Amino acid sequence: MRPQLVPLLGVLALAIGAAPLGFLLREQPATPRAWAKSPPEAPLAAPKPPAHWDLPARESLALLRRTTAAEAKRSLTALSSCESHAGRRSAKRRNRDYRRCATPPLARVHAFASANSHMLSNLANASKPARECRGRVLALSGMASTLAFTTNSTLRGGLDAPWDELLDASRSIRGLAAETLRLAREPGWSSTCKPQPGARPPAAPVL
C-alpha cells in the first residue's frame, strides 16, 4: 500500500464510525400536535308552549275557592260564638275570655287568608287567564289579603284593647270574612274562567 493512502483511509474510517453518532444527535422532527376535539353539541330542547289558562288552572282555582269559602265560613261561626260567650261575662273577664276563645280561630284565619291570597295571585299571573277571569281572581286574592292583614294586626296588638274596640275589631274581621265568602261563592266563575286553547309553541331555531 502506498504511504500516501494510509492517512486517507484513516480519515474515511473515522468518518464512517461517527456517522451513527451524528444520526442520533440530529434533532428529530417534532410530532404533529393533535387538536382537541370539541364535545358534540347537545340537541336543542323543544320550545315550551306559552302559559295559558287550561283545565288544571281552572281546577286549581276551584279548589282555592272551595277552601277559601269553607275557612271563611268557619271563621264567621267561631268569632261570632266567641263574641257572644265573652259578652255574657263581667266587664273584667270579657277581654280575657275573648282572647282565650278567639286566638286560635284568628290565627287560623290569618294562615288560610295569607296563603290563599298568594296562591290566587300567583295563579292569575302565571296562567294568563282572560281579562274578566283575571279580575275576579285578583279581587278574591285582594280581599283575602285584607282579611289576613286585619287579622294579623288584631293578633299582634288589638286583643288588649278595651272591650268595645275589641268587639268592633272582631266584627270587622267577620265582615271581611263574609265578603271573602261572597266573592268565593259568587256565581259565574265557570263561564268566566273557561279553559282556553293553548297557543302553538314557537318554532325551534334553525342552525
pLDDT at 13: 47
Q: Taking the domains of the chain in order of start, what are their residue ranges?
A: 67-186
pLDDT band at 146 (very low <50, low <70, confident <90, very high): very high
pLDDT band at 4 (very low <50, low <70, confident <90, very high): low
pLDDT at 95: 92
Contact 69, 181 (CB under 8 A): yes
Residue 206 has pLDDT above 80, yes or no: no
pLDDT at 10: 47
Please measure the distance between the N-terminal and C-terminal CA atoms of the chain and give it in whole angstroms: 84
pLDDT at 173: 98
pLDDT at 41: 62
Minimum mean pLDDT range among 22-26, 28-32, 35-39: 22-26
Contact 58, 195 (CB under 8 A): yes
Minimum mean pLDDT range among 96-105, 110-119, 194-203: 194-203
Looking at residue 1, the DSSP 8-state letter turns out to be -
> Which residues touch 53 (CB under 8 Å, ≥6 apart)?
127, 128, 129, 130, 133, 193, 194, 195, 196
Residue 179 has pLDDT above 80, yes or no: yes
Contact 67, 108 (CB under 8 A): no
CA distances from 153 to 76, 149, 179, 182 (A): 18, 6, 19, 23
For residues 57 and 204, which has the higher predicted lDDT (pLDDT)? 57
pLDDT at 92: 86
pLDDT at 59: 95
pLDDT at 197: 77
**Mean pLDDT to the nearest integer, 162-187:** 97
115-142 per-residue burial string, b: 16 or more CB within 10 A, e: under 16 = bbbebbbebbeebbbeeebbebbbebbe
**Mean pLDDT to the nearest integer, 75-104:** 94
Q: How many CB atoms lie within 10 A of CB 105?
A: 20
pLDDT band at 198 (very low <50, low <70, confident <90, very high): low
Task: Work out the mean pLDDT of the chain and round it to a whole number.
Answer: 83
